[in-house]
Homo-oligomer: A and B are copies of this chain.
Amino acid sequence: MRTSGDFSLNDLPGAGRMDVACRCVTSSLLLSHGIRNNISLYIHMLGEPDPPKTLLFKGDHMKYLSPDERSTASLIKKALSLKVSRSWITSTPGVFVSRLTLDEILDDLSEKGEIFLLDEGGKDIRNVELKGDISFVLGDHLGLTSPQKNLVRKKCTECVSVSPLSLHADQCIVIVLNELDRLQEERC
């Protein structure tokens, strides 16, 4: 995905498939009439012209997020237009940007709890024990590269799958969250 804010809101696919990022944001954070305030989404971007950049969307701080792709893309465009440093800076409420690498993000996440890699060949998520403050890693339309996959595998508990078919990233996120919502409901 493009790593500067100079893309057109009228051609999100042309910006390195920025539409994929937008849908992942809304799938992760939006409920029918609210925001998932216990979810954070990291989008690690490696496209031209200024990689790496990592966006962080935090549900508990989020404002101005609407369900349509174009308005989500506006938030991303604004974040990618900022001058970025190693540490997180705030773009709009709930949207942060940094130069963190995949390795650093994974280290950060592994301190919080278990990490799972979404992989079509993985164990069915319905048969995996999910508890605590967990994270899921998944690729965009191109998938993770082999080195990226190896890096995640070293730090993850297990590879999990959500469907017998190959789905879009945002669809996978919906299914993962449905599983977590059901578990949460059972525990209450």
A185 proximal to B (CB < 8 A): yes
A71 to B168, CA, bound (A): 17
A69 proximal to B (CB < 8 A): yes
A32 lies within 8 A of B69 (CB): no
A27 lies within 8 A of B171 (CB): yes
A20 proximal to B (CB < 8 A): yes
A83 proximal to B (CB < 8 A): no
Q: Tell me which residues from 11 to 38 in chain A have a Cβ below 8 Å from any Cβ of chain B.
A: 12-13, 19-20, 23, 27, 30-33
A12 lies within 8 A of B167 (CB): no
A163 proximal to B (CB < 8 A): yes
A10 proximal to B (CB < 8 A): yes
Query: Chain B residues with Cβ under 8 A from A171's Cβ?
Result: 27, 174
On A, residues with C-beta under 8 Å from B are 9-10, 12-13, 19-20, 23, 27, 30-33, 66-71, 141, 162-168, 171, 174-175, 178, 181-182, 184-185
